[in-house]
Chains A and B, each alone.
Chain A
Amino acid sequence: MRRQLRTVFSTVTGSVAAVLLLLLVLLAIFGPIIWSGKANAIDVAKAWQPPSGEHWFGTDELGRDMFARSLVATRLSLLSAVAASGIAIVVGVPVGLLAAMFGPRLTSAFQSVVNVSIAFPALLTAMFVGTVIGIGVPGAILGVGIAMAPMFARLTQTLTASVISLDYVAAARTMGVPLRRLVGRHVLANVAEPLVITATTSVGTSLLGISALSFLGLGARPPQYDWGGLLSTGLKAIYTSPMAAIGPGTLIALSGIVFSLLGEVIAGAFGDNQSNRRFGRVARAMAAAARRLSAKPASPSDALLDVANLRVGFPSENGELPAVRGVSLRVAAGERVGIVGESGSGKSVSVMAIAQLVEHPAVVTADRLRFLGTELSTMAPAARRRFLGTNLAMVFQNPMSSLNPAMRIGTQLAEVAQVHSGLSASDARTRAADRLAEVGIADAGHRLRQYPHEFSGGMRQRAMIAMGLMETPRLIIADEPTTALDVTVQRQILDLLLAINRDAGAAILLISHDISVIANVCERVVVMYAGVVVEDLPVASLLRAAAHPYTRALIASVPDMTTDRDADLATIPGRPPALDDLPTGCPFASRCAFATDECVAQMPPLAPMADGHLAACWHPQGGAL
């Protein structure tokens, strides 16, 4: 908490907002004490005077000094605003908490009521309350407070509901933690931040709301006056003495902005928690290491896909984070290649870069990026779009979010053929129905008219694959296509990919964290670790001849249906290096049982082990697994 506060005040906006807030508070405390006499001194002879050295904001209809009155009004304006926010919080927060803590039925009834009252304009609510309890400062405060209460109620309810559904609250309940502690330590502690932020900005909102009421003559009435009331007085003299309106107006605007700034600054300080400060040093060290990685010598390009020395970097505050550091990869026509790696290995980023789908601000470079004999990086965008649209298909991890929820399945399939083959809408639909049937979706004609939410997860992934088959792709890139699916559905999708490879001859580049999935589908496996390829070998020799200790550990650590149940699983100690903390040598050295000084000092190149087998290791291992 203390560190967060320090962050608040270290920022420029933070200090500006804090200084202004302090000024306002001081004015509210001392303003009336110092300037009350001057503010109330009536001198009818000097009514409606323009600004002068004596009266900076001019005078009102009774000749009172508008500047002094503006300063004195600070106290009433601020106090009313704070009081209104207080009422909103006191009413709204408990209601929201209760609604969230008691059953789904109460919650949904609560939501209907609150949704209507939130959409209902606060000014009308405030006027209504003001009418009932009488026009004046209390009426305005209560009116604005009640008008804002639904906002707090809903915020509290949503926040609480989301925290309550988290496992740590369930865990605390199973530990027998008492309710009072559960609410305080686990729920309130974790919803407090956004509530504090909203409470801060709400003071500004209250201030503007009450000022509006007073401005209309529905808030502070003589002899009381706040900034809103003064503004309406000033408006009467706008032609002769504009400062009388501009003065209080500026104070209102300024205070409104101070509180919303404070809210944003506090939000920024809370959000800053996750920020990482170590990036720069690392990024530099790592860039140097990456430069030492040697690119493979150029080879004749008979491959379908030929990538050499692919690099992808993500700019961060202190330099570029290298997610991919010199990946070289070849896929022959009709070949099935798998890329395996754990999260953060760079496998997904690599294929996204190959598919030209990496977006700003990431930076992609490669010595060679050829697909079907054409260098992609130098192609004109329009030509590249058409070229990849007809020859490359992609399937992504999450079929739930990969289809557009607002479009019919048929439209999403048909548009591919319409755009790339120039088919008419009806021809494209016919083709879409054919493709859906091909991927095993029954009643394709009917299915075309449905929306994605009417499809199950497995069917959506089939539809995604059908979409890729709308043209005749030479390569299908499938990025964790079954990770979100059940085992039995996974089997069906993998079989479908195999069938397409067999029947249509499309090559497949399959990305997975699960080496057994790849072993079941692919002919060749590429193992990635910390942004580099550590091994590239035929699936057939995986169990027989895997040479890199990481590949071997990966295989040994996954239990399968033949694993010895009486022995411990092989484990890899430690964890992969962070992108901002990559070592100069082999990235696996710190976790490797065979590592020597050489490994720590120098990155091993990807070197041939046997025919069609490459490994990047100074101490390749042998023997069956």
Chain B
Amino acid sequence: MSGGLVVRGLTVRYGGRTVVDGVDLDVVDGRVLGLVGESGSGKSTIARAVLGLAPVHAGAITVGGQEVRRLSARERARRVQMVFQDPFGSLNPRMSVGGIIREGLEALGDLPARERAAEVTRLLELVSLSPDLAQRLPRRLSGGQRQRVAIARALAARPGVLIADEITSALDVSVQAQVLNVLRGILAAERFSMLFISHNLAVVRYISDDIAVMRDGVIVETGPVDEVLAAPRHPYTRELLDAIPQLHPTA
């Protein structure tokens, strides 16, 4: 099941406050769109709206041509999945790692019960975790391991679109690299498209094909990563680029 994510004129309001204001986004099939912006820009709200976790005031959200809000929870789950920011809050502390991943398989009901254990093993190996971890509770895992479990859980649904919301911002830098590498490996091996949300421009640049820059609920600039970063047109994009502390001298 594939097909990109298309967002048209998305507006989200909480109370009287407009958090996302008429946003258009295209996550092209098989590509990664990086969505970058500072806190409060509304980038996470877009992710939540796609998954039905935030109230949509206006606009259309389609995956593979289907309006997601008209899909059943199960159908939506097959098309879009998400990995959350906080590796400590996104796994139920009372369920084992295996149970967490298996729950997704059960909810979808695509696999016969006897094949689920093998699938859990496959998914854990896919994110470079030992299948032995299936018996463990989340609290015995490190932050990076938890985040990889969260990725495995999302991939259990074999979604067409994966949304990753600040998945490395709570991790130490050395662990961040592990998670990014795992993600790149999966992107090469499995066919799906990804919306990668981060405040870290360098990380977005590393993982994405296309980029969208967001500020105060509006997309200010979008295009292929190389073009946007090499020749930013919007002043805010330039401000962001200038603000990044550089280790290597830029050529």
Interface residues of A (CB under 8 A from B): 166-168, 170-178, 181, 185-186, 189-190, 273-274, 342-343, 486-488, 490-491, 494, 513-517, 519-520, 542-543, 553-555, 557-563, 565, 568-572, 575
Contact = CB atoms under 8 A, between A and B. Distances in A.
Residue of A178, A181, A565 most packed against chain B (CB within 10 A): A565
Contact of A559 (B52, B174, B180): B180
A170 B103 contact: no
Nearest to A491: B243
B239 A516 contact: no
B250 A571 contact: no
A174 B244 contact: no
B95 interface: yes
Interface stretch (B16-24, B58-66, B70-78): B70-78
Contacts of B173: 342, 513-515, 554, 557-558
Contacts of B240: 487-488
A186 B78 CA distance: 21
Nearest to B90: A167
A558 B72 CA distance: 40
Given A174-B51, A554-B174, 9 more contacts: A168-B89, A174-B76, A186-B92, A490-B245, A494-B245, A555-B247, A561-B229, A561-B246, A563-B206
A175 B247 contact: no
Residue of B92, B142, B154 most packed against chain A (CB within 10 A): B92
B26 interface: no
Contacts of B78: 176
B86 interface: yes
A555 B247 CA distance: 8
A490 B240 CA distance: 11
A587 to B, nearest CB: 14
A174 B177 contact: no
Query: Closest 7 A-B residue pairs measured CB to CB?
Result: A176-B77, A167-B90, A491-B243, A557-B177, A486-B38, A167-B84, A569-B177
Contact of A557 (B39, B95, B174, B184): B174
B247 A174 contact: no
B231 interface: no
B202 A561 contact: yes
A517 B245 CA distance: 5
A572 B174 contact: yes
A577 B103 CA distance: 33
A171 B82 contact: yes
Contacts of B107: 175-178, 181
B133 to A, nearest CB: 14
A3 to B, nearest CB: 12
B150 interface: yes
B203 A490 contact: no
B80 to A, nearest CB: 7
Contact of A172 (B92, B139, B180, B245): B92
Interface in B215-238: 229
Interface residues of B, number: 66
Contacts of B180: 559, 569
A185 B53 contact: no
A486 B41 CA distance: 11
Contacts of B245: 490-491, 494, 514, 516-517, 519-520
Contacts of B117: none
Contacts of A181: 107
Contacts of A342: 172-174
Residue of B144, B180, B245, B251 most packed against chain A (CB within 10 A): B245
A486 B206 contact: no
B108 A176 contact: yes
A342 B242 CA distance: 25
B91 interface: yes
B130 interface: no
B76 A176 contact: yes
B175 interface: yes
Contacts of B242: 491
Contact of B81 (A174, A555, A561): A174
Main secondary structure on A side of the interface with B: helix
B22 to A, nearest CB: 23
Given A168-B90, A561-B205, A563-B202, A571 B39 contact: no
Contacts of A570: 177
B77 A171 contact: no
A575 B157 CA distance: 30
A553 B177 CA distance: 10
A557 B251 CA distance: 20
A571 B53 contact: no
Contact of B176 (A543, A557, A568): A557
B181 interface: yes
A516 B247 contact: yes
B129 to A, nearest CB: 13
B246 A520 contact: yes
A189 B243 CA distance: 45
Nearest to B206: A559
A342 B177 CA distance: 13
19 contacts: A167-B86, A167-B89, A170-B48, A171-B154, A173-B53, A174-B53, A174-B76, A175-B81, A342-B174, A519-B246, A543-B247, A557-B174, A558-B176, A558-B177, A561-B205, A561-B246, A562-B248, A562-B250, A563-B205
Contacts of A571: 174, 177-178, 181
Interface string B156-183: 1100000000000000111111101100
Residue of B82, B157, B247 most packed against chain A (CB within 10 A): B247
Nearest to A570: B177
Contacts of B91: 168, 171
Residue of A181, A343, A575 most packed against chain B (CB within 10 A): A575
Contacts of A558: 173, 176-177, 202, 247
B30 interface: no
B157 A185 contact: no
A525 to B, nearest CB: 11
A487 B246 CA distance: 12
B246 A516 contact: yes
A295 to B, nearest CB: 29
Residue of B150, B172, B174, B175 most packed against chain A (CB within 10 A): B174
B86 A171 contact: no
B153 interface: yes
B232 to A, nearest CB: 12
A19 to B, nearest CB: 30
B131 interface: no
B199 interface: yes
B201 A171 contact: no
B151 to A, nearest CB: 11
A172 B103 contact: yes
Given A167-B90, A565-B205, A175 B157 contact: yes
B178 A175 contact: no
Nearest to A560: B202
Contacts of B193: none
Nearest to B175: A575
Nearest to A565: B206
Contacts of A515: 173, 247
B51 A561 contact: no
Contact of A488 (B38, B48, B53, B92): B38
Given A555-B247, A560-B202, A575 B103 contact: no
A487 B177 contact: no
A563 B154 CA distance: 28
Nearest to A557: B177
B9 interface: no
A243 B92 CA distance: 54
